[in-house]
Chains A and B, each alone.
Chain A
Amino acid sequence: MLTIRVNGVIHRLDVDPDTPLLWVLREQLELTGVKYSCGIEECGACTVHVDGEATLSCNLSVSEVVGKEIITIEGLKGPVADALREAWMEGDVPQCGFCQPGQLMTAAALLKANPNPSDDVIDDVMSGVLCRCGTYQGIRQAIHLAARRLSK
C-alpha cells in the first residue's frame, strides 16, 4: 500500500510501486484528463504538476511521488489556470484536443515561474508538448493573453 496526494485528495493505493504515475492516475483514480500518447517522455501529453513543477508522468514511478503534491488538469485551479482557460476559450485553441491537458499544465507551470514570457521562452518550454494538429500559434497567443491579463 502506498499513499499519494492528488488534487488535494489523499488516496491509499494497492498498486505495484513501479507503476507509472500516468497509469495510476488514469486507471486507479479515473483521472483521464492526463493522456497517454508516447509513453517514452517524448510528447508531453502526460504532463502533471508535481510540487508545482510540470512533470511527465509516463515514466515516473508512483512510488517516487509519495509525499508530494500532484495536480492534474482536473485539479488545475487558481488565477493562472483561470486566465489560461479563458484565453484558450477566446482563441479556440484546441482542435482534436488530445494534447491540450498537457499543453495547459505546461503553460500554467510556465506562467507561475515566468509571468511574462517572451516568444522564445514560450517556444523553449512549450516545445516539449507535441500537437499533431498544429495549434502552436494559438497556444503562443493564448499564453501571451493570459500573461497580460494576470499582470494587470
Chain B
Amino acid sequence: MKNEKIDQGRRRFLKVSSLISSSLLISFYLPARGSKAKASVPVKKNQNMVFAPNAWIRIDNNDVVTIMVNHSEMGQGITTALPMIVAEELEADWSKVRPEIAPVAEVYENPAFGTQWTVSSRSVESSWEILRKAGAAVRELLIEAAARTWNVSKTACRAEKSIIYHESSGRTLRYGELVNKTDGIPIPENVQLKKPHEFKIIGQPMSRLDTRIKSDGSAVFGIDVKIPGMLIATVVHPPFFSKQIKSLNSKKVMASPGVRQVLVIDTGIAIVADTFWQAKSAMDLLEIEWDTDENQDINSELLFKRWAEMAKEEGKTCFEIGEVDKYFQKSVNFIEAAYEVPFQAHGTPEPMNCTAHVRKDGCDIWAPTQNQDGARDIAAKITNLDHELIKVHTTFLGGGFGRRALVDYVGEAVQISQEMKAPVKVIWTREEDIQHDYYRPATYNVLKAVLNDRGLPVAWNHRIVGGEVFAQALPRVLPGMISPDVPRFLKNIAASLAKNLMSRFISSKKVVLGAGPLDYDIANLRVEFIHDDPGIPLCWWRSVAPSSNCFVVECFIDEIAAASGKDPYNLRHELLANSPRMLHVLKLAARMAEWRKKSPKGIYRGIASHNFQNTALCFVAEVSINQHCVIKVHRVVCAVDCGIVINPKIVEAQMQSGIAFGMSATIKSSITIEQGKTIQSNFDDFPILRMDEMPKVEVHIVPSTNPPTGIGEAAVPLIAPAVANAIYSATGRRIRKLPILPEDLRKG
C-alpha cells in the first residue's frame, strides 16, 4: 500500500502511534523502547496490510476495524461507546471492531478543553460530531474505492457491515479487500451524516468490548504493568501541616531486605525496593519528623463552625437573576436552613500508581490516568526532555472519579526513575491513597426563600462557604492545556497566573454548578460564594460541585414543599412548568415509582430532580429505617434524558454506578480532619457500599433525537437528596448534613 497523500496532521499521528502499535486492550506488549519512531507508512502489523485513513480508524485486510479511543476507560464504557459512534457511520461490521487506547497527541485532545483528558462526562458529547464525520468520510472513501475498482458510478454502490455492494451487478468487496485500492482517493469532506432513524448500532445494547478481558484477569491496569528490570517504589507523603522534613533517619529502612534506596522527592519520601512488599514493609521502619506550619490545627469540625460564622456576611455573587434583595428586604416571611456537606475521598479501587522509564533519549510512562497531556507535561518538566520524546501509554483505570485527572503520582514515578536510572513502578498503599487524596471540597450552605401566597418561592438566596478546586488545581493542570509548542517558561508563568485569573473568571461559575442557574421557575435567584481555603488539597470528585449543591437545593425544595403544605412532587411540577425536559423526567419517574399511590408499609419515598450539564434526571428513592436508625434503600427509580443514547446498557450501568458511588457518601463515609491529619485511612473507616446495601435500580430512558449528553457522573448528585427526603418522609426529621449515620439519627 502506498500512502503518499497523507496530510501533515495524519503524518503527525502516525509518527506518534507507530510507537505503540500493539493494542492495550487486545494484547499488552510494551517493551521499553527508546528508538525514535519512523514516520514511514504503511504500518505493518502481523504482516497485515493496514489502511489508516485518519487518526481514528485503521482497517486491515482481514476486515478488522481498529478505532482509536482518545479517552481513558475507567468503567464508564468509553472503549465501547466511541467505537460504536465511528462504526455506525463507517457501516462497519461490529463483530470485527476493536478499540485501541490512543497515545498522547494533539489530534486526540478533547476539544471541549483543549487538552487530552477524560473529565466532566464530556467524552461522548465532545466526540460525537468528530467521530461521526471521521467514520462517514472513510465510508465514502471506501465506496469510491470500490466504484473505481468496478468502474461504476459511486451512487450505484452502498456500504453495509464492512462490505460494499454494487446492487445491479451483485458484486461485493469487503473493506479488507479495499485497503490496497485507496491510492489517490482523497478523504471526502462534508459527508452527509445519518439521521437518527437510520442508526443501526447507536442506540443498541451492544456488548462492551472490555468485558471478556475484565472477566479472566487479563485486563492490564496501571498496577499490573511489568517492564523488564523494573524497581518498585512506595511513597510516604507529609501531613497537610508540613511542607518540610525536620529529621529523617532511613538507616533501618536501608538495611531492610530488598530495599535499594530511600529518596526525598518533591511530594514526600520514596522507598525503592525490588518488590512492593519489601518497600511497604520497610515503610514502617522510617523514622521521620515533619516540620509544622499554620495548617497543623486544621480540624474539619472547627472548619464548619468557622464557616457558619463567615456565612453571616454576604458573599461574592456568582449567579443572579431578578432582584433578590428587594424581596428579602420587604418580606418578613421567609424560610431558612443551613446544610453541611463533608470532604470526600475518591477511594478508587486501584490505588494511585504509575510506571515510568526515564532515559537520556526519552521517557515512557504507563499510567492509569485521566490526564495524558498533564502526564506528559509533568514528565517534561522533571526530565527536561522535549514533549515528543515522552510517550504516555494509558492503561485501564481501576476507577478514576476525578482523582486521576491530577498527575502527582506520574511525577513521582518519573522523578524516581530518573534518580534510579531504571524503570520504576510507584504504588501507593491504600492508607496513603485515602490520607493523601485531594478531596471533594466540603461546603457550608445557607439557603433562604421567600414564598408567595400560593406557597411558591419567589426569591431564593443560596450562600456557599468553602474551599474551591479550581483555585488549587488549575495551576497544576494548566500547563498541559497549553500547546506543546509554547515554551515551557511561558507555560509556568501562565500556571502561576492561573490561580488568580481562574478564581476571578472561571471558578465561581464552577462552584455554583447545580445551585444556579436552576431549572425551577424562581424569578429572583442568587447564589453567593465565600471562598475560604481549608488548607487541605482539593480535587474534582465525580459530578463535582453538583455532588453537594444538588443535595442542598433538592432538600431545600422539599423544605419549601413542607412549609407550603404541598406534595414534593407537585411543587416541582409547578416549578418546572417551563422546563419541558425536566418536567418530562419528573413525571416519568413519579409514574414509574407510583408516587401517587400509597407506598407499602414501612417504605417511604423521596424525590429529587437535577439537570446535570443538560442531562435531565429525576430519581424516586424508596427507603426504610429500623428501630436502630439503620437506613435501607430498597429501590431507586430513575428517569433520564441524555439525548441520543449510544448504548442503553451503558446508560443503565452508569445510573447504577452513580447511585452506588453517591450512596457511600450518603449513608456511609466521609473524610474528617483533626490536627491537620485525615482520620480515615482505609475501607474499614472509609466504608464503601456493599452488595447487601445496593438498592434495586430501575432506569427509564427518555427517547430523544437531541445530541448526546454526559452520563458517567449524572446520577451521583441525586441519590443523597432523594434518600434524605425519604428519611424526612419516614421520620419527619430534616437531614441537613451528610453522611446520614444511625448514630446521628439516634441522637434525635
Assess whether A99 is in contact with B349, with CB atoms less than 8 Å apart.
Answer: yes
Determine if A140 is an interface residue (Cβ-Cβ < 8 Å): yes
Determine if B290 is an interface residue (Cβ-Cβ < 8 Å): no
Q: Mark A131-142, 1 if CB is under 8 A from B, else 0.
A: 111111111100
Assess whether B215 is in contact with A132, with CB atoms less than 8 Å apart.
Answer: no
Assess whether A127 is in contact with B691, with CB atoms less than 8 Å apart.
Answer: yes
Which residues of the partner chain A approach B397 to less than 8 Å between Cβ atoms? Answer: 96
Which of A74, A101, A132 is in CB contact (< 8 Å) with B399? A132
**Taking the nearest CB of chain B, how far is it from the CB of A80, in angstroms?**
14
Determine if B653 is an interface residue (Cβ-Cβ < 8 Å): yes
Assess whether B349 is in contact with A98, with CB atoms less than 8 Å apart.
Answer: yes
Which residues of the partner chain B approach A99 to less than 8 Å between Cβ atoms? Answer: 349
Residues A134 and B656 in contact in the complex (CB < 8 Å), given A23-B276, A92-B207, A139-B691: yes
A45 to B400, CA, bound (A): 17
Assess whether B218 is in contact with A33, with CB atoms less than 8 Å apart.
Answer: yes
Q: Mark B209-249, 1 if CB is under 8 A from A, else 0.
A: 01110111111110110100000100000000000000000
Which of B210, B659, B683 is in CB contact (< 8 Å) with A134? B659
Assess whether B657 is in contact with A95, with CB atoms less than 8 Å apart.
Answer: yes
Which residues of the partner chain A approach B74 to less than 8 Å between Cβ atoms? Answer: 96
Assess whether A42 is in contact with B214, with CB atoms less than 8 Å apart.
Answer: no
**Taking the nearest CB of chain A, how far is it from the CB of B77, in angstroms?**
7
A134 to B350, CA, bound (A): 15
Residues A130 and B215 in contact in the complex (CB < 8 Å), given A27-B277, A97-B75: no
**Taking the nearest CB of chain B, how far is it from the CB of A42, in angstroms?**
4
Which residues of the partner chain A approach B276 to less than 8 Å between Cβ atoms? Answer: 23, 26-27, 36
Q: Mark B714-743, 1 if CB is under 8 A from A, else 0.
A: 000000000000000000000000000000
**Taking the nearest CB of chain A, how far is it from the CB of B57, in angstroms?**
24
Residues A132 and B688 in contact in the complex (CB < 8 Å), given A30-B226, A39-B430, A88-B215: yes
Which residues of the partner chain A approach B224 to less than 8 Å between Cβ atoms? Answer: 26, 32
Interface SS of chain B: loop
Which residues of the partner chain A approach B485 to less than 8 Å between Cβ atoms? Answer: none
Q: Which residue of B lies closest to A43 (CB)?
A: B683
A67-103 residues at the B interface, CB under 8 angstroms: 72-74, 85, 88-90, 92-101
Assess whether A134 is in contact with B694, with CB atoms less than 8 Å apart.
Answer: yes
Determine if B692 is an interface residue (Cβ-Cβ < 8 Å): yes
Assess whether B219 is in contact with A133, with CB atoms less than 8 Å apart.
Answer: no
Q: Mark B300-342, 1 if CB is under 8 A from A, else 0.
A: 0000000000000000000000000000000000000000000
Assess whether B215 is in contact with A100, with CB atoms less than 8 Å apart.
Answer: yes
B40-80 residues at the A interface, CB under 8 angstroms: 73-77
Determine if B591 is an interface residue (Cβ-Cβ < 8 Å): no
Determine if A19 is an interface residue (Cβ-Cβ < 8 Å): yes
Most buried by B among A19, A32, A73, A123: A32
Which residues of the partner chain A approach B697 to less than 8 Å between Cβ atoms? Answer: 137
Assess whether B653 is in contact with A132, with CB atoms less than 8 Å apart.
Answer: no
Assess whether A89 is in contact with B660, with CB atoms less than 8 Å apart.
Answer: no
A88 to B216, CA, bound (A): 10
Please report the total number of A residues contacting B with Cβ < 8 Å.
56
Assess whether A96 is in contact with B656, with CB atoms less than 8 Å apart.
Answer: no
Which of A19, A31, A88, A122 is in CB contact (< 8 Å) with B211? A88
Which residues of the partner chain B approach A127 to less than 8 Å between Cβ atoms? Answer: 690-693
Q: Which residue of A lies closest to B542 (CB)?
A: A132
A23 to B690, CA, bound (A): 25
Which residues of the partner chain B approach A139 to less than 8 Å between Cβ atoms? Answer: 691
**Taking the nearest CB of chain B, how far is it from the CB of A33, in angstroms?**
2
Assess whether B216 is in contact with A95, with CB atoms less than 8 Å apart.
Answer: no
Q: Which residue of A lies closest to B205 (CB)?
A: A92
Assess whether B349 is in contact with A134, with CB atoms less than 8 Å apart.
Answer: no
Q: Mark A51-62, 1 if CB is under 8 A from B, else 0.
A: 000000000000
Binding site for A on B (CB under 8 A): 73-77, 207-208, 210-212, 214-221, 223-224, 226, 232, 257, 275-277, 280, 347-351, 396-401, 427, 429-430, 649, 653, 656-661, 664, 682-684, 688-694, 696-697
Could you list some 18 contacts between A and B, CB below 8 A?
Answer: A23-B276, A23-B277, A32-B224, A36-B276, A37-B430, A72-B217, A88-B215, A89-B211, A92-B653, A97-B75, A97-B210, A97-B221, A129-B691, A132-B347, A132-B401, A132-B688, A133-B660, A134-B658
Known: A32-B217, A40-B682. 20 other contacts (CB 8 A): A19-B277, A31-B217, A37-B398, A39-B280, A92-B207, A92-B649, A95-B76, A96-B75, A96-B349, A96-B400, A127-B693, A131-B349, A132-B664, A133-B75, A133-B399, A133-B661, A134-B659, A135-B657, A136-B660, A140-B691
